[in-house]
Amino acid sequence: MTAYTDSSAPLPSSGRRFSLVSRRGAGIVLLTLIAVFAIFGPWLIAIDPARQELSRFLESPSWAQPLGMDQLGRSMLARLAHATRLSLSMAVLGVLSAAIPGTLIGVAAAWRGGWIERVLTALADAVLALPGLLLVLLLAAFAPGQFWPLYVGISLALWVEYFRVVRAASHILLASPQVEASRLLGFNTIYLLRRHLLPVLLPRIFTLMRFGFAGAVLAMSALGFVGVGLQPPTPELGVMMIELLPYYSEAPWLIGAPVLVLFMTLLGLVLLAREEEAA
């Protein structure tokens, strides 16, 4: 009894804060590494990811080819760099084209109210009632192997979150005394948005973006892995994993590389979580 009372004493807050800081720090380092690899990798390596040298298939890592050659004798490092760039740029594109319209529509709905708000809310409820990956899958079925259905699906699945969160928060903010005072003083819409809404909304939007980014990277690689996303020979993380799976005992580093990139990206995003969402 006593022992367990002692151990349940709250941790010293400095220790907890330190571990949280180092945790977020580790996340930032991981994501920076991945981002640098994605941005500069394809340019520094400067090898065509599609160039085959069939005589060098499954070649072991060497100084010239640090990750060796894949099953068709293509440079694994070059393919990995292009795949990482593809995944990250798709995620950034998807998240931005969900966050910006989602936020604007959310504010507009809260501002205008009326039937516009009701229609938009009904639309959001419909999208929300379907798990995101299903929506992406359905759109992927429109044109298998192409980039645009994945992009449209991811943005369509993600915008709802921004709309809901922003609309709910804006309702409260727009009715607050400080906004009313600003309005009475004659400040314009832009000023109200910048001074009163954005500072409150931005942290929540960033949290959603973190989740959305992880979801987008995950959806793309998952669809590639089960074969309904992008198709070979596109260097894409999920496609590469399923292509290299048959060679995992001869050349474990080959399948290990895209798995590690995906894992590190997602781990970095999980570690980035703030204290209140760290559950």
Partner 1 sequence: MNIVHGDNRAIASLFSALGRRLLQAALVALLVGTLCFFMTRMLPGDMAYRIAAGRYGYDMVTSAAADAVRHELGLDRPLLSALADWWSKLWHLDLGLSQVTGQPVIHEIAEQLVPTLKLSVLALGLSFLIGPTIGLLAGLRPGGWLDRSTLTLSVLLRALPSFLLGLLLVLIFSVQMGALPAAGHDDHGSIMLPALTLALGLAAVSSRVARDAMVSVRSSAYFAFALTKGLTLQQALLHHGIRNVAVPVISYLGVQLVYLIEGVVLVETIFAWPGIGHALVHAIFGRDVPMIQGTALILGLMFVIFNSLIDVICSLIDPRRRS
Counting contacts by CB under 8 A, is residue 144 touching partner 1? yes
Contact 53, 73 (CB under 8 A): yes
| Choices 39-47, 107-115, 165-173, 222-230 (CB under 8 A): range interacting with partner 1 | 222-230
**Rounded to whole angstroms, how far apart are CA atoms 259 and 241?**
7
Residue 130 in the binding site for partner 1 (CB under 8 A):
yes
Write down the least CB distance from residue 90 to partner 1, Å: 16
Backbone angles phi, psi at 187, to 5 degrees: -70, 150
Cα 238 → chain centroid: 15
If one asks whether residue 43 binds partner 1 (CB under 8 A), the answer comes out as no
Determine, following the binding rule CB under 8 A, whether residue 36 of this chain makes contact with partner 1: no
Q: For partner 1, which stretch binds (CB under 8 A), given 70-78, 92-100, 120-128, 193-201? A: 120-128
Among 7, 13, 14, 188, binds partner 1 (CB under 8 A): 7
* Tokens coding 153: 């699906």
Does position 152 interact with partner 1 (CB under 8 A)? The reply is no
Report if residue 8 touches partner 1, rule: CB under 8 A.
Answer: yes
Restricted to residues 234-263, the positions that interact with partner 1 (CB under 8 A) are 238, 241, 245, 248, 259, 262-263
Under rule CB under 8 A, residue 39 binds partner 1: no
Q: Is 130 left (phi over 0), alpha (psi -120 to 50) or beta?
A: beta
Confirm if 78 and 42 have CB atoms less than 8 A apart. Answer: yes
| Beta carbon of residue 257, minimum distance to partner 1 (angstroms, whole number) | 13
Contact status: 228 vs partner 1 (CB under 8 A) = yes
* Among 40, 54, 100, 125, contact with partner 1 (rule: CB under 8 A): 125
Burial of 171 (0-12, 13-18, 19+ CB in 10 A): middle
Buried b / exposed e over 237-268, threshold 16 CB at 10 Å, is: bbbbbbbbeeeeeebeebbebbbebbebbbbb
**Judged by CB under 8 A, which of 221, 234, 240, 251 binds partner 1?**
221
188 contributes a contact to partner 1 by CB under 8 A: no
Beta-carbon-side half-sphere exposure of residue 218 (alpha carbons within 13 Å): 13
Angle among Cα 222, 270, 21 to the nearest 5 degrees reads 160
Q: Residue 173 to residues 108, 110, 195: CA-CA distances in angstroms?
A: 13, 10, 11
CB of 55 to partner 1, least distance (A): 30
CA angle (266, 33, 93) in 5-degree steps: 60
- Span near partner 1 by CB under 8 A; candidates 39-47, 85-93, 124-132, 185-193: 124-132
Choose the stretch contacting partner 1; rule: CB under 8 A; options: 69-77, 89-97, 106-114, 265-273: 265-273
Place of tokens 């005394």: 177
The site for partner 1 (CB under 8 A) is made up of: 1, 4, 7-8, 10-11, 122, 125-127, 129-134, 137-144, 218, 221-222, 225-228, 238, 241, 245, 248, 259, 262-263, 266-267, 269-271, 279
